[in-house]
Amino acid sequence: MGRIAELRTIVDHPYSYLQKIKDQSGKKIVGTVCSYAPEELIFAAGALPVRLFGSDSGIHRADLHLQSYCCSLVRGILEEALSGRLDLLDGMVFPHTCDSIQRLSDVWRLNLVKPFHADVVLPVKLSTPSARQYLTDVLNKFKTDLECGLNQEITEANLIHAVKIYNAIRTQMTRLYQLRCENPQGIKGQDFHTIIRAAMIVEREYFLESLTAIVADLEKMTSEKEPSRARRLVISGGICNHPDVYDAIEAADGVVVGDDLCTGSRYFEGVINENLPPLAAIAQRYSERAICPAKHAGLTQRGENLVRTVRDCKADGVIFMLLKFCDPHAFDYPYLKEMLDREKIPSLLLEMEEQTEAGGQLQTRLETFIQIL
Ligand code: SF4
Ligand code: SF4
């Protein structure tokens, strides 16, 4: 089986993969819900951090606890937990970001008993020197909580190793992004999406090995690239859990060449400075990486970052993928669109549920947008 096919099997059946890891190695599994979860510390505690996504079995039990105007991602994660499908988790980590994630944490704490439950209360404004010190203190407390909750000491050597592994993954991911940008025909959107999802699930050392091999293969293909007439697009939003959308874009003669997603560049951006003490260095990366709308680092930082991404990727347009009832992204959309309009960058807004399938109306909207580019 090829590397990407192997990753896809894991991404399509994450719970059986995680159960196998637990059974074979006794490794603890810790769920996370957001790209601000300090995964390096979970890794350093010998556990496997796993980003959770919503339910594809419909949402029933979660509606007894969360209003239907919470986003389908959060309601879907709760559904998975209340259905018992997340019983394999040894703990959960909730960064203090959007309201929906905070409410999910409250409901989780009251209804789902796990050995470990942490709220990581990061500051809202991340760009000041005092925020960075505060962040380091928060990470220090999280480290102590993890040690107690998982009954595992986190040594300096473990932390340094974790930083090295995550840096190596982020460096390879950055190269993968560059290669896609140079030759988007070299890798299908679905495969790219599989790699990103796998980065959040698979044992990280093994993932790094697979990723390095995939990037090396792609490097060879890039040198044989052919010019393409497909329209180049950047996707912007919170999460993209819609592999079908990539196929729909490609069927409409478009290609994704960059993104501004939590399940994308925001998750990988920026390496950790290996010359600083690990916790201070992790805090520094958080304060410098591209922010999400649940955080603040200046009134127009996200818009500037999006315009820069479009320019760097030589993109023809932007597709906003907005999860219904996601307030933080909905509030940011008007000003982001305005900034794109000022730069004469066309954009399309798609409002979706986490499990929206491509086809029909979505396909027509994509085709119409791509044709005018
Ligand atoms: S948009 Fe922000 S709060 Fe929401 S998942 Fe992404 S990083 Fe977390
Ligand atoms: S940022 Fe939006 S999509 Fe992400 S968890 Fe919060 S409300 Fe849901």
Q: Is the CB of 303 under 6 A from ligand 1?
A: no
Q: Quote the CA–CA distance of 128 and 28 in Å, as a whole number.
A: 35
pLDDT of residue 68: 84
pLDDT of residue 137: 96
pLDDT of residue 54: 85
Q: Is the CB of 238 under 6 A from ligand 1?
A: yes
Q: Whose CA is nearest to atom 6 of ligand 2?
A: 98
pLDDT of residue 265: 93
pLDDT of residue 227: 64
Q: Is the CB of 241 under 6 A from ligand 1?
A: no
Q: Is the CB of 173 under 6 A from ligand 1?
A: no
pTM, whole model, 2 decimals?
0.95
pLDDT of residue 238: 83
Identify the H or E element spanning 142.
Answer: helix 129-150
Which distant-in-sequence residues (6+ apart) come within 8 Å of 274 by Cβ? 160, 163, 164, 167, 281
Instruction: Indicate left, alpha or beta for 287 from its phi (over 0: left) and psi (-120 to 50: alpha).
Output: alpha
Q: Is the CB of 100 under 6 A from ligand 2?
A: yes
pLDDT of residue 10: 97
Q: Quote the CA–CA distance of 147 and 101 in Å, as a whole number.
A: 23
Instruction: Supply 8's token pair.
Output: 């896809």
Low-confidence ranges of the chain (pLDDT < 50): none
Q: Are strands 231-237 and 317-323 parallel, antiparallel or unpaired?
A: parallel
pLDDT of residue 356: 61
251 C-alpha to center of ligand 1: Å? 29
Tens digits of per-residue pLDDT, 223-236?
556 667 899 999 99
Q: Is the CB of 97 under 6 A from ligand 1?
A: yes
Q: How high does pLDDT run on average in the chain?
A: 92
What ligand is nearest to the CA atom of residue 323? 2
What ligand is nearest to the CA atom of residue 75? 2
Which distant-in-sequence residues (6+ apart) come within 8 Å of 204 by Cβ? 43, 48, 165, 166, 169
Instruction: Give, as one character, the DSSP assignment of residue 296.
Output: B
**84 in Cβ contact with 114 (< 8 Å):** no
Tens digits of per-residue pLDDT, 18-39?
999 999 999 999 999 999 999 9
pLDDT of residue 201: 97
254 C-alpha to center of ligand 1: Å? 27
What ligand is nearest to the CA atom of residue 122? 1
Identify the H or E element spanning 170.
Answer: helix 156-182
